[in-house]
Structure 1
Amino acid sequence: MSGVRRCAVRRTKIEYGTEPSQFGHLYLPRDGLDPATPARVVVLVHGGSWSVEYGSTIQTAVARTMAERGAVVWNIEYRRVGEPGGGWPNTGRDVVDAIRALDGPVRDALQEQDVDLRAIDFSSVGVVGHSAGGQLAVWAVGKLGARTASTTITTVVAQAAVLDTVSAADKESLRDLMGRPYSESPRRYEEASPMLAPVFDAHVVAITGDEDDLVPDIVSRRYVDDAIARGQSAELIVVRGEGHQAFVDPRTGCARQTIRVLGI
């Protein structure tokens, strides 16, 4: 990553709803953008077991690094377990709404800052989700059909993602998200599962470390095999010698693979 010229960035808080956690931080290169080489938009969906113990700030270093490399980065927050309105399905709906905010609140903020929208490539948006955020990212893009009113999502990066909520139904954090055990509401778990999501017109890249003891690489392997069999464009990247938290450190191999896949 050292071969790319870095630049200073600026950050703006933008609300996409009326609830306290319905906001995001937009990161832009401070020196401006060039319509001759439009910047890629990247949406970041943080992980943290869908719990209020973790927030979007865990992605701050990653967001800044991507913006330093010339991307327009939308690092979103959403209602999580432990706050009013958090849990399924509202947590998932918030991520959908946050992505849709690219059509309204984000564009409005860009124009208020006199950013030339021709310098931003809304036709090839990347959505990146880590761990629990990976489940939310793939699910939300599926719900949107990889499109909003004015953007097209072409790449989804699922980083050590919880891609099968049915097989993981015994996990306490997932039960907390769903609000009830699988035996009482199997359809709720099935509806939330990226493994069972409809095929959508974007490329899903599942990146995982082979030393991940929280979401083992077999989860990503099974998802990609199943997705390809269903007709979803997907691929698997396994990074040797790294574990679950490598994705929030921009210096790691997992982070470098994400940057490479996004082409920034």
Structure 2
Amino acid sequence: MSHPFIYIRRPAVLALAGLLGPMTAQAAPKTVDDYMAQPRVVADHRIAYGTDPAQVVELFLPTGRGPHPVVILIHSGCYLAKYEGLPQTSGIAGDLARRGYAVWNVVYRKLGESGAGYPGTFLDVATAVDRIRPDAARYGLDPRRVLALGHSAGGHLALWAAARHRIPVTSPLWRSDPLRVRSVVSLSGIGDLERQGRVFAGACGPESIPQIIRLADREAAYADTSPAALLPTGVRVTMISGDLDHVMPLPTGRAYVARFGAAGDVGQAVAIPGASHFDVVIPTTPAWKVVAATVATEFARMR
């Protein structure tokens, strides 16, 4: 089986982004400060799925009655509370809503907050995702057309959310009827916690993954938390990376595509030249336009 890898050359990025007029000098890659400083876009609804202040979803809706295809958006931040989440992803959530999608922007308990780690953080994501079904009629959502979009740590959680039907029944994370996620777009995400954890640790510190899965005091801690351990899932996956990404470098996305391809799943790795770890989640960048176009392509496959 082949493992598709797409490298989008700079002119193609510009064309895909719909940029017109004379070419200007390429903008400097975006930094974590650029990411954190983004202005917040106000959501249409704020929905609590638990009692903790971190257990909320912000819902961004397109115009029209629906039912609308749903993007589950899961933020990054090394699983650490200091990086917030909803304010920084509200810009791309608003952009996706203008493109015709309902955006289910999930926040979850992060390290530094009570109840975070295993199983709390994972149960937060699971509960937030499954909440789409009972709320579908109220908000005009289509639970049959659902795509998960996550960045970095959120890219791991998006892949994991789509693989929950493969979790062993003996796990505290098992649920009998998880919402079906039909496609995942993982932006610099971690597909293989065991093999790629050291790479992630270079930017996020050596304890983030061990603490979030309680590696020190759980046998087989990867078995129900690492997407690689839950293959095959039957879910189409696109791994997108900037070729200047220092957190999860380009080869990590390619390696995970090879891993799930060998297990029988289908997907691709996409590289964006000149893009950093943060360009892919800032709505004013050419890299984000590539992400949005990928989302559109994946929804078109669902019809």
Q: Does TM-score exceed 0.5, indicating one fold?
A: yes
Structure 2 alignment gaps of length 5 or more: 1-16, 20-40, 167-174
**Residue of 143, 150, 153 corresponding to 2:164:** 143
TM-score (norm 2): 0.73
2:77 paired with 1:48: yes
Question: Which has the larger share of strand?
Answer: 1
2:274 paired with 1:241: yes
**Residue of 208, 211, 234 corresponding to 1:176:** 211
Q: Distance in 2 between matches of 1:2 and 1:64?
A: 18
Q: Distance in 2 between matches of 1:152 and 1:68?
A: 24
Q: Tell me what 2:101 maps to.
A: 71
What is the one-letter code of the residue matched to 2:104?
W
2:156 paired with 1:123: no
Contact 2:213 2:225 in 1 (8 A): no
Q: Distance in 1 between matches of 2:193 and 2:142?
A: 33
Q: Distance in 2 between matches of 1:143 and 1:45?
A: 15
2:125 paired with 1:98: no
Contact 1:39 1:70 in 2 (8 A): yes
1:106-117 equivalence runs, <5 A: 106-107=135-136, 109-110=138-139, 117=140
CA shift for structure 1 position 197: 1.7
CA distance 1:150–1:52, shift in 2 (3 Å): closer
Number of residue pairs matched?
A: 245
2:288 paired with 1:260: no
Q: Percent identity?
A: 30
TM-score (norm 1): 0.83
Structure 1 alignment gaps of length 5 or more: 111-116
CA shift for structure 1 position 10: 5.3
CA distance 1:190–1:218, shift in 2 (3 Å): farther
Contact 2:257 2:269 in 1 (8 A): yes
Q: Distance in 1 between matches of 2:42 and 2:210?
A: 39
Q: Tell me what 2:110 maps to.
A: 80
Q: Distance in 2 between matches of 1:197 and 1:251?
A: 35
Q: Distance in 2 between matches of 1:27 and 1:129?
A: 16
CA shift for structure 1 position 168: 3.7
CA shift for structure 1 position 208: 0.6
Q: Distance in 2 between matches of 1:144 and 1:100?
A: 12
Q: State the Cα deviation string for residues 46-77 of structure 1 (Å, max 9, x = none).
A: 01001101222210100000011121111011
Q: State the Cα deviation string for residues 87-131 of structure 1 (Å, max 9, x = none).
A: 122211211111101012x33652xxxxxx4xx433221110100
Q: Distance in 2 between matches of 1:16 and 1:190?
A: 26
| Greater relative contact order (Cα < 8 A, sep 6+) | 2
What is the one-letter code of the residue matched to 2:265?
Q
Contact 2:74 2:106 in 1 (8 A): yes
For the aligned residue pairs, the C-alpha RMSD in angstroms reads 2.7
Contact 1:122 1:150 in 2 (8 A): no
Contact 1:103 1:150 in 2 (8 A): no
Q: Distance in 2 between matches of 1:131 and 1:242?
A: 14
2:43 paired with 1:13: no
What is the one-letter code of the residue matched to 1:80?
K
CA shift for structure 1 position 152: 3.9
Contact 1:9 1:67 in 2 (8 A): no
Q: Tell me what 1:187 maps to.
A: 220
CA shift for structure 1 position 190: 4.2
Q: Distance in 2 between matches of 1:150 and 1:135?
A: 17
